Structure 1
Amino acid sequence: MSRVVYLIALLTVLGGLPAQDPPADLCGRYVNEDGFRVLYLWGTPEQRGFAQGWLLADVIVRNLDADLTKLMGRARKNQYEERLIKTVVPRFAFSADEEAELAGMLKGIEARLPQEERRIGLLGRALSLADLKATNTVGDWMSLGCSTFVVDGTYTKDGAPAVARNFDFPGFRMVLDDQHIVVHAPDGDSLGWVGVSYPGSVATMTALNSDGVFISIHDVMVIPSLLAPFRPNVPRLCALRRVMRDVSSVGAIASVHERLKSWKTMYGNNFMVVTPGANKGDPFAGVFEYDSRYKATDGVHLRVTDHLDSKGQPFLLCTNHHRVRKPRRDDPEKLCRRYNGLRDAVVGIDSSAGVKVSAERLFEVLSVAAFPKNDQPQARYRHGTTHQAVAFTGSKELWVRLGVVGKNIRQITPRRVKVSEALAAAKAFSSKR
């Protein structure tokens, strides 16, 4: 199977379980308000996993079954079992916490659904832990698009950077019907954070933590090194999760740089990281070109300016095509069109004294690089911008548009999530259980 077929087979379909009282000690809540879905999780990793598994069991299982049957077409089940489950998935190394959360998720699914309802029809067996691990490598095996820009504190009311991001992906059910906001409460060893995720995932694609650190991912077409299949690789969406849990605002850029060097990855990435806590003289944002090319930069190159002559500019841009290692990257005619269009729009933001940028204005600029173009509606399985986010790192606010089939992302009304309020809600839920 091709790289795309691997991933398409792992997608999800919206389903609904009959009303059932949750276990008294369930460490999660799932709230759906007019299509804006929020999953609150707290407790130990295993408890968080169990909660997601129990709350979203129907969605995770039934959708894998439906899409695997539809999208594998004439391919035989052993292509999934032998080539993905037994060959590809073992090449990825989850942390102890991630392993515990995935194991807890399977237990939650098993507690919610009888064995027959956990059955994947094409495979002739029940959902397994390996299937959940495969679901959490979707971000590695399926190409992303994406774009992000950040402006410094001269543009904002509180003097902290603001960032806006497009997540571009084929219009699968997991990122249209089922993507949701996940709220991870802090524990004794981690920060709390809020991000965009999908059912069955222990990770995130776009996120903001309680200390104001923001992160987003972009795909880069880099062929894995020959050694990549023979070493443990971090699932790249899990790398984002780890940054959110562990990295505070002061010294964030340097901290992420060192961590990524130790987390080997199979494919190419651009990570945009933004912090409100940069010390004087330190960068307020950086693009990490993170891949399997280790000889020159240990697999991680930090870019804090866009061009060789752009030192000190008040913004930083990133797309999945624009990076230092691309030949002739400083020739504007050689850069990707989305990058050039977005850069022109960012330059056009009024940063004069007394004029401070709003979330609405940042969404307007961001949409220059969104898909489909010309306000065409998002179609099932077609490439498009499946979510947009704007983050104010000082006030720790995340504004989100979750895409839907039949609407262009620009037509979606953004919803505001204040990190402190979301974490307080998780704490309130936990006290009532």
Structure 2
Amino acid sequence: MLLFLIGCAPDPGIEAPPAPVEQEELPYNGSLERQGDRDVLYLWGTRAEIGYAEGALTCDRVGPLFKAYLLEHLVGEYTDFTYELARAFVLGSTTFDARDLEELDGYWQGANEYCTDEQLTIESELIADSPHRLVWEDLLFANAVADFGCSSFTVWGDASATGEMVHGRNFDWAIDPAGTFVADHMLKVYDSTDEGARFVSVMVPAMQGCVTCVTDESLVLTMHNVSGLTPDETIGISPRMLSARAALAATSGADDPVGAAETVLEGRRQLVGNNLHLAMPVARGDGIGGVVLEVDGAGSSPDGQVTVRRAGEDAQETRTDVTLAANHYAKRRSDLGDDDSNGRIATLAAFIDEAPVAAGDGRGMLDSVKNGYDGVTAHSIVFDAATSELQLYVAPGFDVPAPEAEPVIFDLNDVFGRLAELSGD
């Protein structure tokens, strides 16, 4: 396995990073590097090539991550089912898009070629055939399970210190006591030729959808769990992390990015509710910097599966230069669950109404609404479309929320430039 470590620091006396590795030297379309305390995984090519490279470069992490996080923490602590029953239920109701399967199959091939049986075997009292050698269905299960809290804001116009879009988000959910979920958090950088999209994703190895993603066109999509409307169907469900990725990829080059994302989401059947916060540079949004796509599986509702909530349509924040999202709908239906997500919307609105928001204010705002309901904030981001700067905060442990960590700062122009060097574009 090739591992390229690049240290980034502002000190001009520090030796420059090594020259880019030529594509022909790589046995796969990927490179694993490091910035600050965070891994950066560069991936390019077709969906199958991207999956294969990620499998080759990260397969040694999948066993510990699967055991500590998915099996013993999420299934063991948050359900009453055995793992075998949970997996059978989830996969029995899920239908993966053929294009998503190409990448997942590529991952599985790469993992099996570059890791040993021992590396892909786990032992746990929570699995019937322990010691258990991971199988294809385990990878599918990991990509079909997602139930996250979260809070986010987007400001632009008079609500922004620069007038341009600033987006901040907390990703709140359970963190295993071993800390594998946060330790394995990385910035994945994609040039997906099949999707015609380049984007970064904050996530762990083997999970290939979007919960926090930013494109090279500075569009941001972040996911939030919601108690949605009752779905029309409970089978043929598209995994929502992968649905979110497809929606974001569809915005690349689109004249109407909101409409492009909405069309994709209408075509992918959902089981549970989501607030997908889509932020964009003001020029791309024709004067707006963000919307919230309120999504669930009730395709028979008047709006279909997707209700587009625009600025000014939230009774808690009626400004036309702000969109806020947490764990409740504000337009699609307003009488489901907690209508303020534990006060988080009111808290964010108060910050924004006090003064125009700069990117430097984002951390304090996110700290004020950290930890959602019962989860700890696993990661947080602040993205400034005016500078293409991404601040990434990752929880340093299972009981310390992300906004209390020191950030790794990424200039996404440099990140995508590095991707072009590696891919030969």
User: Same fold by TM (over 0.5)?
Assistant: yes
Shift of 1:326: 4.6
Unaligned runs of 5+ in 2: 5-20
Equivalent residues in 2 for 1:161-200, closer than 5 Å: 161-172=165-176, 173-187=179-193, 189-200=195-206
Aligned mates of 2:86, 2:155 — CA distance in 1 = 41
- 1:242 pairs, out of 240, 246, 252, with 246
User: Which residue of 2 is the match for residue 377 of structure 1?
Assistant: none
User: Which residue of 2 is the match for residue 402 of structure 1?
Assistant: 394
Aligned mates of 2:400, 2:263 — CA distance in 1 = 41
Deviates more, 1:309-318 or 1:359-368: 309-318
User: Which residue of 1 is the match for residue 83 of structure 2?
Assistant: 80
Query: Does the alignment pair 1:260 with 2:260?
Result: no
Deviations along 1:355-374, whole A, 9 cap, x unmatched? xx43221221222111389x
Aligned mates of 1:386, 1:133 — CA distance in 2 = 22
Shift of 1:244: 2.8
* Structure 2 CA distance for partners of 1:365 and 1:19, relative to 1, 3 Å: closer
Shift of 1:265: 0.7
Aligned mates of 1:134, 1:109 — CA distance in 2 = 16
* Structure 2 CA distance for partners of 1:127 and 1:361, relative to 1, 3 Å: same
Give the secondary structure class of the aligned counterpart of 1:263.
Answer: coil
- Does structure 2 conserve the Cα–Cα contact (< 8 Å) formed by 1:399 and 1:416? yes
* Structure 2 CA distance for partners of 1:95 and 1:420, relative to 1, 3 Å: farther
Give the secondary structure class of the aligned counterpart of 1:401.
Answer: strand
Query: Does the alignment pair 1:418 with 2:411?
Result: yes
User: Which residue of 2 is the match for residue 56 of structure 1?
Assistant: 58
Aligned mates of 1:238, 1:189 — CA distance in 2 = 12
Aligned mates of 2:284, 2:66 — CA distance in 1 = 46
Q: Could you tell me which amino acid in structure 1 is paired with residue 417 of structure 2?
A: A
User: Which residue of 1 is the match for residue 119 of structure 2?
Assistant: 117
Aligned mates of 1:86, 1:260 — CA distance in 2 = 25
Shift of 1:181: 0.8
* Alignment TM-score, normalising by the size of structure 1: 0.80
Q: Could you tell me which amino acid in structure 2 is paired with residue 44 of structure 1?
A: T
Deviations along 1:260-318, whole A, 9 cap, x unmatched? 21121111001111121557866431111101222222121111124359665321211
User: Which residue of 2 is the match for residue 370 of structure 1?
Assistant: 370
Aligned mates of 1:277, 1:261 — CA distance in 2 = 25
Q: Could you tell me which amino acid in structure 2 is paired with residue 396 of structure 1?
A: S
User: Which residue of 1 is the match for residue 298 of structure 2?
Assistant: 293
* Structure 2 CA distance for partners of 1:274 and 1:68, relative to 1, 3 Å: closer
* Structure 2 CA distance for partners of 1:309 and 1:236, relative to 1, 3 Å: closer
- Does structure 2 conserve the Cα–Cα contact (< 8 Å) formed by 1:162 and 1:390? yes
Aligned mates of 1:425, 1:280 — CA distance in 2 = 27
Give the secondary structure class of the aligned counterpart of 2:367.
Answer: helix
Aligned mates of 1:364, 1:26 — CA distance in 2 = 41
Shift of 1:118: 2.1
Aligned mates of 2:285, 2:422 — CA distance in 1 = 40
Aligned mates of 2:224, 2:422 — CA distance in 1 = 34
Equivalent residues in 2 for 1:217-228, closer than 5 Å: 217-222=223-228, 224-225=230-231, 227-228=232-233
Give the secondary structure class of the aligned counterpart of 1:229.
Answer: coil
Percent identity over the alignment is 21
* Structure 2 CA distance for partners of 1:138 and 1:347, relative to 1, 3 Å: same
- 2:280 pairs, out of 245, 268, 275, with 275
Q: Could you tell me which amino acid in structure 2 is paired with residue 233 of structure 1?
A: I
Shift of 1:213: 1.1
Q: Could you tell me which amino acid in structure 1 is paired with residue 358 of structure 2?
A: S
User: Which residue of 2 is the match for residue 229 of structure 1?
Assistant: 234
Shift of 1:70: 4.0
- Does structure 1 conserve the Cα–Cα contact (< 8 Å) formed by 2:157 and 2:163? yes
User: Which residue of 2 is the match for residue 323 of structure 1?
Assistant: 330
Number of residue pairs matched by the alignment: 393
Aligned mates of 1:313, 1:50 — CA distance in 2 = 44
More helix by share: 1
Shift of 1:342: 1.4
Aligned mates of 1:152, 1:68 — CA distance in 2 = 38
Q: Could you tell me which amino acid in structure 2 is paired with residue 412 of structure 1?
A: A
User: Which residue of 1 is the match for residue 33 of structure 2?
Assistant: 31
Q: Give the aligned CA root-mean-square deviation in angstroms.
A: 3.4
User: Which residue of 1 is the match for residue 7 of structure 2?
Assistant: none
- 2:139 pairs, out of 132, 141, 158, with 132
- Does structure 1 conserve the Cα–Cα contact (< 8 Å) formed by 2:3 and 2:31? no
Aligned mates of 1:128, 1:50 — CA distance in 2 = 16
- Does structure 2 conserve the Cα–Cα contact (< 8 Å) formed by 1:322 and 1:336? no
- 2:156 pairs, out of 149, 152, 156, with 152
User: Which residue of 2 is the match for residue 96 of structure 1?
Assistant: 98
Give the secondary structure class of the aligned counterpart of 2:263.
Answer: helix
Deviations along 1:185-220, whole A, 9 cap, x unmatched? 242641211121111111121111011211111000
Shift of 1:408: 3.8
Q: Could you tell me which amino acid in structure 1 is paired with residue 353 of structure 2?
A: V
Give the secondary structure class of the aligned counterpart of 1:46.
Answer: helix
Deviations along 1:58-80, whole A, 9 cap, x unmatched? 110233245567456699xx943
